[in-house]
């Protein structure tokens, strides 16, 4: 079982190194460092033959299409690597494994055909669920302005387009097909077959990214939408009924999201073990060290 871990990061180089050390030594790690920060500390902290830092880097804003661009770049680097992977896992630089590697590898072997990409169709959901996704978000960026002022300008344009009655549809066209938009999360795991299919779709139909470029948090929408319109849809994790929470759409990660992602510490160990999830987010050097020490020792993990 050969795993590729895709890891975007922008902070805490020490934790990135610890995360990589905690995972399978036979895996390959593909890392994107936000172009807004110096990547030198990350390269120094996590220097190893199986750690591959992307040369092409993106200036990332949360909720912006730039998140999709670096995810696509990570997937492309993984698919172009000479190793043949059985499983691709998209993590973040503030994740940590809750399971020992032997258990994790056994789990992925036993679920070799599963696509751990969860999603729920946005059409038909309650108005308060889809409200943000119906807002048109002009992706204007003026290099002469600071990041803060660019964000302020985008918010102003967003309000102006809303006042004009412009709304994003929850369906899009890709070639001769009409696709429903599905919502998921930024943390998922797929087979290389699905990864290759999704990358091919984005190359074949550039209108897909043009559509999502003006939508709220497109990184949580692009990949589930592609997965649930793919030949692999029956192996993905469709949530039916009403939307419940982001945590319920995160198949392999424990997250505490009320309303922001909580920094986990030693007091959370019991909840993490009870969750049955193989990964957790978010852990931070200086706040989560004792928790990670106990996880490394396998405390509370079933045999």
- One DSSP character per residue, 36-68 reads TS--HHHHHHT--TTEEE-SS-----TTSTHHH
- Are the C-beta atoms of residues 22 and 28 closer than 8 Å to each other? no
Residues 86-124 have pLDDT tens digits of 999 999 999 999 999 999 999 999 999 999 999 999 999
Distances (CA, A) of 303 to 23, 91, 121, 299: 18, 25, 38, 10
C-alpha 264/C-alpha 52 separation (Å) is 28
pLDDT in tens, 193-252: 999 999 999 999 999 999 999 999 999 999 999 999 999 999 999 999 999 999 999 999
Q: Whole-angstrom distance between the N-terminal and C-terminal Cα of the chain?
A: 20
Q: Distance between CA atoms of 94 and 9, rounded to whole angstroms? A: 8
Cβ-based neighbours of 276, under 8 Å, separated by 6 or more: none
What is the CA 14 to chain-centroid distance, rounded? 21
φ, ψ dihedrals at 52, nearest 5°: -120, 110
Q: Could you give phi then psi for residue 73, rounded to 5 degrees? A: -65, -40
Give me the phi and psi of 45, to 5 degrees please.
Answer: -70, -35
This prediction has a pTM of 0.93
pLDDT at 188: 97
């Amino acid at each position: 079982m050969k795993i590729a871990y895709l890891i975007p990061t922008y902070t805490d180089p020490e934790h990135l190194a610890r995360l990589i050390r905690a995972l399978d030594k036979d895996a390959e790690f593909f890392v994107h460092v936000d172009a807004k920060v110096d990547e030198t500390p990350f390269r120094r902290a996590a220097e190893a033959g199986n750690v591959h830092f992307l040369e092409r880097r993106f200036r990332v804003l949360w909720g912006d299409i730039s998140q999709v661009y670096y995810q696509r770049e990570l997937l492309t680097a993984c698919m172009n690597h000479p190793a043949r992977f059985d499983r691709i896992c998209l993590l973040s630089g503030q994740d940590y494994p809750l399971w020992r590697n032997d258990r994790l590898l056994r789990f992925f072997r036993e679920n070799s055909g599963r696509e751990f990409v969860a999603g729920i169709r946005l059409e038909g959901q309650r108005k308060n669920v889809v409200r943000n996704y119906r807002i048109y978000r002009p992706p204007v960026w003026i290099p002469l302005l600071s990041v803060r002022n660019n964000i302020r300008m985008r918010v102003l344009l967003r309000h102006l387009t809303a006042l004009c009655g412009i709304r994003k549809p929850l369906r899009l066209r890709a070639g001769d097909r009409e696709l429903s938009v599905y919502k998921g999360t930024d943390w998922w795991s797929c087979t290389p077959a699905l990864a290759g299919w999704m990358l091919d779709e984005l190359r074949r139909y550039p209108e897909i990214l043009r559509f999502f470029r003006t939508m709220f948090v497109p990184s949580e929408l692009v990949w589930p939408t592609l997965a649930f319109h793919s030949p692999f849809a029956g192996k993905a994790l469709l949530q039916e009924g009403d939307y419940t929470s982001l945590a319920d759409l995160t198949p392999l990660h424990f997250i505490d999201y009320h309303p922001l992602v909580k920094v986990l510490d030693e007091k959370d160990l019991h909840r993490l073990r009870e969750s049955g999830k193989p990964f957790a987010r978010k852990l931070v050097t200086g706040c989560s060290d004792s928790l990670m020490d106990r996880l490394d020792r396998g405390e509370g993990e079933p045999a």
